[in-house]
Amino acid sequence: MKKRSAILIIVTVLVLAALACSLNPQTWFTQSLEPVNDGVVTTISKVIVEDGDIPSLYEAVNPGVVAIRALTEEGGGLGTGFVWDEQGHIVT
């Protein structure tokens, strides 16, 4: 009898787990949103780059680009960003 009860409990738990995995939580909490259309259409024209523009752009923005490396006992991370203002605040 104990073995049968244990099997019944295991089967019940597995069935409930399968049902829980098959349910879509989005159907529980649906919110109808109105589509936003402000009527603005943006067209992108072909960009023509003249010789020398890319190197001069690099020279202009390179001093503001930063690399950030954080090291801890558990590991670390690496990121990039840019200088935001004259006080040296960085956006990553």
pTM of the model: 0.35
In tens, the pLDDT along 39-89 reads 666 676 666 666 667 777 777 777 788 888 888 888 888 988 888 888 888
Q: How many residues does the chain have?
A: 92
Q: Can you count the helices (H) and strands (E) in the chain?
A: 2, 3
What residue type is 68 in one-letter code?
I
CA distance 2 to 53: 81
Closest CA to 76 of 63, 67, 66, 85: 67
- At 25 the pLDDT is 60
CA distance 65 to 92: 10
Burial of 2 (0-12, 13-18, 19+ CB in 10 A): exposed
What tokens does 79 get? 């990121």
First to last CA, the chain: 63
